[in-house]
Structure 1
Amino acid sequence: FFGGSGAIMYVAQIFGYYDYIEINSFLTGATSIGIISGAYSTEVFRGAIQSIDKGQFEACHVLGLKKYIYFFKVIMPQMLRLAIPNLSNVWQITLKDTSLISVTGLVEIMRQSYIAAGSTRDPLFFYSFAALLYLMLTYLSMKFINRVEKKYSRGY
């Protein structure tokens, strides 16, 4: 979260820009969480592609299919079936990691609960409400992911 601004200033100085660069806290948080969850998702997709039988790739090659055709018509449907459960885990991790954005100064659910609990001296209510919001977000996203998983797991 904090090392990026120094690196950006250093790169800017290399190109002759010596003024201070202000970095938006939302952009910082969204970029860092996006990079982290993107790395996890990449590993999920890599594992799903590697678990597909090599005979599928060989059959597409023997049939003379172009790479983009056999990827979208043969490999990707099988990959999605295997990747969706693990992507739901990545989504849950990303949802939990959003509470770490408050370090950058951005006010999110837990930070707002902390501020409200401190000003009213009623922490149980506000932290319970925040927990209920996270539970609701988790529940709704899992219902959606279960529908998508059910759609892609049916046989052809």
Structure 2
Amino acid sequence: MLERLNEALDHIDAHLDQRIEVAEPARIAMTSEYHFRRLFSALAGISLSEYIRRRRLTLAGAEVLAGERTLLEIAVRYGYGSGEAFARAFRAMHGVGPGEARRAGASLSSQPRMSFRLIVEGSGSMRYRVVEKERFQVVGRKVRVPLVHEG
């Protein structure tokens, strides 16, 4: 399952300069769009759309600093309908506007490529002992928590 999720992420990363329909990475992961979004959010701690937005702005930042394309060309390439919308999103992620970043050669934020892997813990042996205790009362509290990490 994790291998298929990583293949879906590779597909997303290869198509960041195009419109991404969630149906295709979901098909690669062999799941529905709904379950793909939920699974991604549960594992990554951020929504799929937020991850895609951050990855696009990371690549756009590299292109802004390279200076080979105009800011409007970069904005359109990464799916922004106007230079103003791109500048707002760019500033929200990087803390500086694209023009200023290009002029100053600013240090920008980055969303690295994500990949999922399984780490198994607890395979080592554990020493224990059984102890007789006097009777005691256990108190609990029922609480509902979100499935997706919010932080």
| TM interval, short-chain normalised | under 0.3
**TM-score (structure 2 length as normaliser):** 0.22
